[in-house]
Structure 1
Amino acid sequence: MANLVLASSSPRRRELLSQLSLTFDIFSPEIDESILQNETAFDYVKRLSLHKAKAVLLHQQDAIVIAADTTVAIDGKIIGKPESKQHAFAIWSALSGREHDVLTGVCVADRTQYFQDVVCTKVQFQTLSLDDMERYWATGEPLGKAGAYAIQGIAAQYIPKISGSYSNVVGLPLYETVQLLKAVKALN
């Protein structure tokens, strides 16, 4: 079997993929993650996962690549990673007391073929007080996270309900990833 490569520097994706008892290398490609004009969250994560896979295959042509990109969207608007405390508070104000979507685009590819899927999970946030936001910001956990939170961490206390894949919200929908690996013949 070809060398399996995870196209991500995310420790969460690495941990999730490790749950499958697979042996893999990590190669995190540098790609432009800018959102295109009028691009939907679905199209955004699908495009980025494919671009990441192709970028890795330029360097490791004999690999089977697993690439993913996760974003949070509310009312159809992509919510990125917080750029500052003020930005995080604005994100949480938008999510507070509401349901939002977490979308992950996954691409499994080798040099001759690629297979993709986009998984959407609905996440309900409790109403957050200013004190909740201050306490959560002080933990440092929101930095570098889509939607300014990590469901697998402290933020779990603010999430009463999800509908869909939990591993998707963490950053890699495992069921769908395995199906894509089987499609590319990386797994039986």
Structure 2
Amino acid sequence: MARLILASSSPRRRELLQQLGLEFEVFSPEIDESVLTGEGIAAYVERLACAKAQAVLEQFPDAIVIAADTSLGVDHQILGKPQSKHHAFEMWQRISGRKHDVFSGVCVRTRTEKSSIVVRTQVEFQQLSPDDMESYWATGEPAGKAGAYAIQGIAARYIPRIEGSYSNVVGLPLYETVQLLQSVKALN
């Protein structure tokens, strides 16, 4: 198999990809993650995943590149990573006591092929009290996480149910990633 590169700085994506038993390198590209005017969440995460893959492929043209981007959607708005404690609390107030969607765009690129997909998982979040929010913020876990939570961590206590791919909520839908790798003949 050709050189496989994960275009991400996320330790969660690295751990997920390791579960597949693949040997890969990690290279994190810098791209503009601004939302385009009128852009929906599915289009947004797919565009970013493909932009990350393209940026890495330009530096390593003989590689197979896997890239992903994950964001939450609630009320047709994108919830990314919290910029502050106040921002995290605002996000939690929006998802508290209701369901929201987690979208991941995944793109696999080679010099001659490109394959991408968007995966959606619905997550139910319990009603959070102000004390819950203070306690969770104090753990440090919400920083740098889409929607200001990590389902694979302490936040699992607040999530009674999901519908769809668990690994998608963590940041890389594994089943679909394998399908994309097979579609570009990177896996048998």
Tell me if TM exceeds 0.5: yes
Partner in structure 2 of residue 136 of structure 1? 136
2:86 corresponds to 1:86: yes
Aligned runs of 1:1-188 on 2, under 5 Å? 1-188=1-188
Q: Secondary structure at the match of 2:45?
A: helix
Alignment-mate amino acid for residue 49 of structure 2: S
CA distance in 1, matches of 2:134, 2:38: 33
The residue type equivalent to 1:12 in the other structure is: R
Give RMSD over aligned pairs.
0.4
Once the two structures are TM-superposed, the CA of residue 93 in structure 1 deviates from its matched residue by: 0.3
Match of 2:147, SS state, is helix
Deviation at 1:75, TM superposition (A): 1.2
The amino acid of 1:63's aligned partner reads A
Q: What percentage of aligned pairs have identical amino acids?
A: 69
The residue identity in structure 1 corresponding to 2:161 is K
Aligned AA for 2:32? D
Distance 1:123 1:32 in 2: 27
- CA drift of 1:23 comes to 0.1
Q: Distance in 2 between matches of 1:83 and 1:48?
A: 19
Q: Which amino acid aligns with 1:90?
A: E
Secondary structure of residue in 2 paired with 1:169: helix
Distance in 1 (alpha carbons) for counterparts of 2:11 and 2:149: 15
Q: Secondary structure at the match of 2:36?
A: coil
Separation in structure 2 between the aligned mates of residue 172 and residue 122 of structure 1, nearest angstrom = 15
- Partner SS state of residue 28, structure 2: coil
Secondary structure of the residue aligned to 2:51 is helix
Q: Deviations over 1:70-102 (max 9, x none)?
A: 000101100111111111000000000010000
CA deviations on 1:94-141 (whole Å, 9 max, x unpaired) are 000010000000001101110000000000000000000000000000
Q: TM-score, normalised by structure 1?
A: 0.99
Q: Residues 19-57 of structure 1, C-alpha deviation per residue, up to 9 Å, x if partnerless?
A: 000000001000000001111000000100000000001
Q: Distance in 2 between matches of 1:39 and 1:144?
A: 22
Q: Give the Cα separation in 2 of the matches to 1:21 and 1:11.
A: 16
Count of residues in Structure 1 that have an aligned counterpart in Structure 2: 188
Name the SS for the 2:179 alignment partner: helix
DSSP 3-state at the match of 1:67: strand
Alpha-carbon distance in 2 for matches of 1:25, 1:14: 9
Where does the alignment leave 5 or more consecutive residues of structure 1 unmatched?
none
The amino acid across from 2:101 in the alignment is: D
- Structure 2 unaligned residues grouped into runs of 5+: none
Amino acid across the alignment from 1:171: G
Query: TM-score w.r.t. structure 2 length?
Result: 0.99
